[in-house]
Structure 1
Amino acid sequence: MALQRADGSRATFVAQARLVRVGDQNILFSPSRRAMFALNDSAAEIWRALQEGAAGKTIQRRLMEASVETALDDWERLGLIRPLAPSPPVFSRDYVNQVLAIAGRRIRIVYPAGIAHPTASVFAHLQVPGEAADVLFQAVQHRERIHLFRNGAWVLSCPPAGLATALKGELLADALGRDDYELALHAAALFNGERLMLLCGQPGAGKTTLTLALAHAGFGFASDDVTLLNANGLGVGLPFAAAAKSGAWPLLGEFCPDLDAAPVFRRPDNKRVRYVLPQQFSPSSMSPRAVGWVILLRRDRTSTPRLDPVDPVAALRGLLTGAFAPAQELGSTAFDALAHVIGSAQAYCLTYSSLADGVELIRGACR
């Protein structure tokens, strides 16, 4: 087949091979030689341009532009280049402003209007009126990525689908960076009346899924991941919307009927999540409460579901796993607060497989 230019004239080349895409590779197949040749993306682009009849200089210009765009995209993704710091935000139709109340602080987030939703909806339950804030986050769209600035300083970049997860991480880091608590526990928190229940477990134990199921069963939702403990042993959850991973979506259908309609976001590891806020959430969820129950989770499909009392030392170990102190080390005040929690709370180990069994056992114990 002779290659033909766009103006209809014949080129000086005759194509004697066919370019195909196999998986993620460009393959050039020569029938006459019965041979295949692997081409990199640049060589494949040259071949396509020749087939289209492009002149040599046109091909060079096209490749140069593509190379520059690819390099800029790669460097921006790797954090090697970024846009300039944004100007102070203005109140106009071009921006969406949110002021959130989190752990006693007010945080303002400014999004370009075109990218605000659905990310802004993930934090809408924490929104409060007013403009004054302690911290300012600004999201800036540049090319195919979103850049996040904190008080004018660049923090990170992410794809648009990752903005909600990135913001949640930064808001959590801001809360943990304060010094008005003694210990941050890697534990979900729910409440029954005036007492708090803490759920602890290794990754994969189903902490978030069980938390949402318990909230659906009538427990108050306080946190699905981090609970702060003050010097008096009172706990307060950081009530971000729970991140339900894709593997849990089928399990949560019964407890979260609107889950399928929730937008899908991406974590930095590219796993998909949907953010879920139990309908029972209210501002009172953020009130400090005494810890009444500590439940260590053990997911096991081969064992009979049961809720067994555990030794206080075992409960202490469970709470200390993944715990974080503002001073980077567990001081005596923090340990005393934690010992007070263990001394006054009922501690159990929940062995379960199905959510229904887990909910029923916990409801029976936490009355």
Structure 2
Amino acid sequence: MLLPGRDILIAQLGDAFALLNCQEQRLYEVDSLAAWTWQHVSNCAAGIGWNQLSAQFSSECKLARPDAEALLDRYVGLGILRACQGSASIFAVALNGSRWMIECPDVLSAELKQLFRGIAIPMEPGCRHEHLVIRLNADRYELTAAGKSIGVLGRAEIIPAIKAFLTEALLQTDFTLALHAALLRLGDRQLLIAGAPGAGKTTLALALSAENGGSLLGDDIVIVDEKGALRGIPFPAAVKRGSWTLLQTFQPGVTSCPTYVRSDGKEVRFIPGDIDSDHIAPARSTTMIFLRQNVARRQSLSKMSPLLAFQRLLTEAAAPTRRLTDQAFAALSKAVNISGVYEMEVGPLGQAVEIIRDL
């Protein structure tokens, strides 16, 4: 299987062709044959077989087959093309403006595409992508990015590791502020659910998103833009073992999902994210709900002061510089001020869903 070279872009300038090595930030001149080959392979989203490409190259460019194959060998050696050993698939995802090309074994492809469908985008020739490569060696998966090995993992560990890597990659992009919270859409209103780890954010968000007109926009990271608007990142939602039974009524499919193991040793199952917030109409109103740990399993919902909500959100917020900028401070203030803010203790899950639905 042949793929476009990593960090390579080619453009025609008059009668000449320029190759940019994005990693080295160096410009080279290449001939029309190299440009044709790179463009042709780039147009094939899943790559192209060696024999198929050499036959097309020979026919289209009027070359003898041995000469075409020799040139392909040379282009692989120069990094214009990349040979992928074994059977592999590629697809692309978007992380807040950053584009990643994920190359994985065919045995993992359908599962990854389904789980990360919320951030999947079409492959676009000529656009620069970062590269995440998953290689299968015996029964272990090696995760590599930018040519560096991230780790070698078992089958049950690889999906959580990919999500963790993409989450960290997202946090390296340019944004005003990121919140550790869940975001969902209920009809024409938007609901943000925040709380300490283990408070039940994901469980409640998934139960609510199963309602008519409900969509889970993100279970872990919510981006706040400079105007105070919220945008969820639709990574697959991680459901911990203790919530599998609770969610059966709302998300029956959770019982048949594969079980994975995170780096902290916890068993999880994943529910794919629904849709990127950029692709839906703006919400009419926003409600923020802050969950409290509820040992007694009592059900309660009460108004909360905007100042306390602001403080709670900041405790686990992230900014690109790791410091709260003037812009981030103003953006979060706007987000809180335009929202209805509540504090909640969650008792029986069905009752909690009814209370929030009727807000």
- Scaled by the length of structure 2, what TM-score is found? 0.71
* Match 2:318 to one of 318, 321, 324: 324
Cα distance in 2 for partners of 1:89, 1:245 equals 39
Q: Is the 8 A contact 1:265 1:273 kept in 2?
A: yes
Cα distance in 1 for partners of 2:290, 2:333 equals 16
Name the residue aligned to 2:288. 294
Cα distance in 2 for partners of 1:205, 1:352 equals 9
Q: Secondary structure at the match of 2:252?
A: coil
Paired residue type of 1:363: R
Q: Secondary structure at the match of 1:101?
A: strand
CA drift of 1:122 comes to 1.7
Task: Indicate the structure whose relative CO is greater, using CA pairs within 8 Å and at least 6 residues apart.
Answer: 2
Name the residue aligned to 1:70. none
Cα distance in 2 for partners of 1:183, 1:129 equals 27
Q: Secondary structure at the match of 1:185?
A: strand
Residue deviations 1:217-275, cap 9 Å, x none? 23221101110011111111110111111111010110111222211111112221111
Matched, 1:223 2:218: yes
* Match 2:135 to one of 132, 136, 140: 140
Matched, 1:156 2:132: no
Q: Secondary structure at the match of 2:258?
A: coil
CA drift of 1:118 comes to 3.3
Matched, 1:101 2:94: yes
In terms of mean alpha carbon deviation, does 232-241 or 148-157 score higher?
148-157
* Match 2:269 to one of 269, 274, 277: 274
Residue deviations 1:257-308, cap 9 Å, x none? 1222211111112221111136xx2455655856711110124252641210
Name the residue aligned to 2:21. none
Paired residue type of 2:119: L
Q: Secondary structure at the match of 1:251?
A: coil
Q: Is the 8 A contact 1:306 1:361 kept in 2?
A: no
Paired residue type of 2:95: I
Unpaired segments ≥5 residues, structure 2: 1-78
CA drift of 1:175 comes to 1.2
Name the residue aligned to 1:265. 260
Q: Is the 8 A contact 1:136 1:150 kept in 2?
A: yes
Q: Is the 8 A contact 1:93 1:113 kept in 2?
A: no
Q: Is the 8 A contact 2:96 2:173 kept in 1?
A: no
Number of aligned residues? 277
* Structure 1 residues 192 and 118: CA distance shift in structure 2, 3 A: closer
* Structure 1 residues 141 and 155: CA distance shift in structure 2, 3 A: same
CA drift of 1:96 comes to 1.4
Q: Secondary structure at the match of 1:258?
A: helix
Cα distance in 2 for partners of 1:288, 1:185 equals 21
* Structure 1 residues 194 and 308: CA distance shift in structure 2, 3 A: same
Residue deviations 1:30-56, cap 9 Å, x none? xxxxxxxxxxxxxxxxxxxxxxxxxxx
Cα distance in 2 for partners of 1:249, 1:89 equals 43
* Structure 1 residues 92 and 157: CA distance shift in structure 2, 3 A: closer
Name the residue aligned to 1:118. 111
After superposition, the CA RMSD in angstroms is 2.5
Paired residue type of 2:252: P
Paired residue type of 1:196: Q
Cα distance in 2 for partners of 1:194, 1:153 equals 44
Q: Is the 8 A contact 2:185 2:209 kept in 1?
A: no
Cα distance in 1 for partners of 2:277, 2:85 equals 33
Q: Secondary structure at the match of 2:173?
A: coil
Name the residue aligned to 1:363. 357
Cα distance in 2 for partners of 1:88, 1:288 equals 41
Residue deviations 1:105-143, cap 9 Å, x none? 321111122444534432234333225452110012235
Which protein shows a greater Rg? 1
Cα distance in 2 for partners of 1:312, 1:91 equals 54
Cα distance in 2 for partners of 1:276, 1:226 equals 15
CA drift of 1:144 comes to 4.4
Name the residue aligned to 1:342. 336
1:161-176 alignment runs, 5 A limit = 161-176=156-171
Q: Percent of counterpart pairs with the same letter?
A: 31
Name the residue aligned to 2:208. 214
Unpaired segments ≥5 residues, structure 1: 1-85
In terms of mean alpha carbon deviation, does 162-171 or 92-101 score higher?
92-101
Cα distance in 1 for partners of 2:253, 2:233 equals 23
1:1-40 alignment runs, 5 A limit = none
Name the residue aligned to 2:345. 351
Cα distance in 1 for partners of 2:130, 2:116 equals 15
Cα distance in 1 for partners of 2:302, 2:218 equals 24
1:248-259 alignment runs, 5 A limit = 248-259=243-254
Cα distance in 1 for partners of 2:252, 2:81 equals 41
Cα distance in 2 for partners of 1:165, 1:288 equals 31
Name the residue aligned to 2:182. 188
